[in-house]
Amino acid sequence: DNNDSLTKLKEEILELQKRIDNLEKFHKKYPRVKYLSINEQRRILVTGGAGFVGSHLVDRLMRDGHRVTVVDNFFTGSKANIEQWFGHPNFELINHDIVNSLFIEVDEIYHLASPASPPHYMFNAIKTIKTNTLGTINMLGLARRVKAKLLFTSTSEVYGDPEVHPQPETYWGNVNPIGPRACYDESKRVAEAMCFAYARQEKIQVRIARIFNTYGPRMNLNDGRVISNFIIQSLRKQNLTLYGNGNQTRSFQYIDDLVNGLVALMNSNYSKPVNLGNPDEFTIRDTALLIRDVVGNSNEVVVKEKMEDDPQRRKPDITVAKRELNWEPKTRLREGLMKTIDYFRSEVDKNDNSENLHTFYYLNSKDELDEIINSDKIEL
Ligand SMILES: O=C(O)[C@H]1O[C@H](OP(=O)(O)OP(=O)(O)OC[C@H]2O[C@@H](n3ccc(=O)[nH]c3=O)[C@H](O)[C@@H]2O)[C@H](O)[C@@H](O)[C@@H]1O
- Is 248 touching ligand 1 by the criterion CB < 6 Å? yes
| Distance in Å, CA 302 to ligand 1 centroid | 17
Helices (H) and strands (E) in the chain, counts: 11, 13
Q: What is residue 378's predicted lDDT score, i.e. its pLDDT?
A: 42
Total residue length of the chain: 380
User: Given 184, 198, 215, 362, which residue is catalytic?
Assistant: 184
| Distance in Å, CA 61 to ligand 1 centroid | 28
Q: What is residue 24's predicted lDDT score, i.e. its pLDDT?
A: 75
3-state secondary structure of 219: coil
Q: Rounded distance, CA 349 to CA 334, Å?
A: 22
Q: Rounded distance, CA 354 to CA 225, Å?
A: 22
Q: What pTM value is reported for the model?
A: 0.89
CB 315 within 8 A of CB 251: yes
100 exposure class (CB count in 10 Å sphere: 0-12, 13-18, 19+): exposed
| Distance in Å, CA 374 to ligand 1 centroid | 25
Question: Where are the strands (E) in 34-143, listed by range?
Answer: 43-47, 67-72, 91-95, 108-111
CB 77 within 8 A of CB 114: no
Q: Which residues of the chain have pLDDT under 50?
A: 357-361, 366, 376-380
- Is 229 touching ligand 1 by the criterion CB < 6 Å? yes
Would you call the peptide bond into 166 cis, given omega within 30 degrees of 0 as the criterion?
A: yes
In terms of Cα–Cα distance, which of 228, 247, 320 is closest to 279? Answer: 320
| Nearest-5° Cα angle at 52, 376 to 243 | 40
Q: Rounded distance, CA 159 to CA 177, Å?
A: 12
Q: Rounded distance, CA 275 to CA 156, Å?
A: 8
Q: Rounded distance, CA 236 to CA 73, Å?
A: 30
ipTM score of complex: 0.96
Q: What is residue 358's predicted lDDT score, i.e. its pLDDT?
A: 47
Look up 121 and say whether it is catalytic.
no
Residue nearest to atom 29 of ligand 1 (CA): 243
